[in-house]
């Protein structure tokens, strides 16, 4: 892992603990992107002649990486764009269960469209709260982030499998932007009906790319009848009228989606088991060190398993102090968020802890 750090120039000058905000660009990806644009410069429109074949290869790469069929994989510019297209096609009389502290693009995206909503509380017993909310409110749809962006509380994937088994008619839509790329994951067996993700964080794909994965027949079920009827009556090419076409409208950028595909290969070559092991070790080390300083929320300490995102007690002055020490974090919620990816080290955590002691 330490040899891999050479791929990321920013790490030579900074302690980067901010992947939850933005994943890092790396040398070999930069080489790929420069070569892409050189080919576009020289080839102009002819460069795009095989665009359809290339984008289908990207779908295949995404599907293979996460355990989803290519035909059920959709390319989108970001999770938020994809979610809004989904929501625009759903019956507004449906009741939606949300998590009370979830990402604004999730919660506001739904409340602003007039759906009936109910909430489950995000705390140390999150799964129990979700079960109780479903029993009380009987929602039709459950939309949530797999990992909470402020404090890193993560839903147990096994719980989602059990939830789907118990409530087969509940449409489960998950945002995996703070999750995908951190551990081994199989969409097919997850219990999730629709998984969306932006590729610029843990997948290191840069901005402007993402994807949606659909369980069998779900894509057909959420497509409005009006769209299907109109598609049958027109002679337009199927790229405009297919079920996928509703999401992939307009020209998809081969630069952005090529970057995503390149990074999926990059992560695969490292090995997801290796990445997961490194992240888990870093997370456990950080949790223990920060707990000794009494800087973590009680609800995080309650959790048996946690992600590699932590929110530590601190104000703007502490945030500025860390920044002045070239420790890059984010000010989120009521504290300072630190997030650890495979390119981080125990030494990075030690440096933060040392500065927290010095600040005190």
* pLDDT value of residue 237: 82
> Cα–Cα distance between 22 and 18 in angstroms, integer?
6
Q: What is the pLDDT of residue 240?
A: 84
What are 201-232's pLDDT values in tens digits? Answer: 999 999 999 999 999 999 999 999 999 899 88
Percentage above 70 pLDDT, the chain: 99
25-40: per-residue pLDDT in tens?
Answer: 999 999 999 999 999 9
Is the model's pLDDT at 261 over the cut of 80? Answer: yes
Tell me the average pLDDT of the chain. Answer: 95
Provide the CA 164 distance to its chain's centre, in angstroms. 21
pLDDT above 90 covers a percentage of the chain that reads 89
Q: Is the pLDDT of residue 53 over 80?
A: yes
Q: What is the pTM of this model?
A: 0.96
Residue 340: per-residue pLDDT: 98
pLDDT tens string 272-310: 999 999 999 999 999 999 999 999 999 999 999 999 999
Tell me the per-residue pLDDT of 86-102, one tens digit each, with 9 for 90 and over.
Answer: 999 999 999 999 999 99
User: What pLDDT shows up at residue 113?
Assistant: 94
């Amino acid at each position: 892992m330490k040899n891999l750090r050479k791929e990321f120039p920013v790490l030579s000058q900074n302690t980067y603990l901010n992947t939850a905000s933005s994943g890092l660009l790396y040398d070999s990806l930069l080489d790929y992107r420069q070569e892409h644009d050189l080919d576009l410069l020289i080839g102009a429109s002819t460069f795009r002649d095989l665009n359809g074949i290339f984008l289908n290869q990207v779908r295949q790469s995404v599907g293979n990486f996460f355990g989803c069929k290519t035909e059920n994989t959709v390319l989108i510019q970001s999770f938020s764009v994809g979610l809004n297209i989904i929501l625009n096609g759903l019956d507004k009389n449906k009741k939606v269960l949300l998590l009370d502290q979830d990402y604004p693009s999730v919660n506001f995206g739904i409340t602003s469209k007039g759906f009936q909503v109910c909430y489950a509380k995000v705390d140390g017993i999150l799964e129990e709260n979700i079960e109780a909310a479903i029993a009380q409110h009987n929602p039709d749809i459950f939309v949530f982030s797999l990992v909470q962006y402020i404090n890193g509380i993560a839903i147990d994937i096994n719980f989602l499998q059990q939830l789907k088994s118990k409530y087969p008619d509940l449409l489960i839509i998950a945002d995996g932007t703070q999750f995908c790329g951190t551990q081994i994951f199989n969409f097919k067996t997850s219990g999730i009906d629709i998984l969306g993700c932006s590729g610029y964080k843990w997948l290191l794909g840069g901005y402007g790319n993402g994807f949606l994965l659909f369980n069998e027949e779900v894509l057909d079920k959420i497509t409005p009848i009006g769209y299907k009827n109109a598609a049958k009556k027109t002679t337009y090419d199927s790229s405009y009228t297919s079920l996928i076409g509703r999401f992939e409208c307009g020209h998809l950028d081969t630069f952005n989606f090529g970057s995503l595909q390149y990074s999926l290969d990059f992560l695969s070559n490292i090995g997801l088991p290796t990445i997961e092991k490194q992240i888990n070790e870093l997370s456990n080390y950080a949790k223990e060190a920060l707990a000794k300083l009494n800087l973590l929320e009680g609800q995080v300490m309650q959790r048996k398993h946690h992600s590699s995102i932590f929110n530590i007690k601190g104000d703007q002055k502490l945030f500025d102090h860390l920044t002045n020490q070239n420790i890059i974090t984010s000010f989120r919620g009521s504290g300072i968020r630190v997030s650890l990816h495979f390119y981080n080290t125990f030494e990075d955590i030690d440096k933060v802890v040392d500065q927290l002691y010095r600040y005190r």
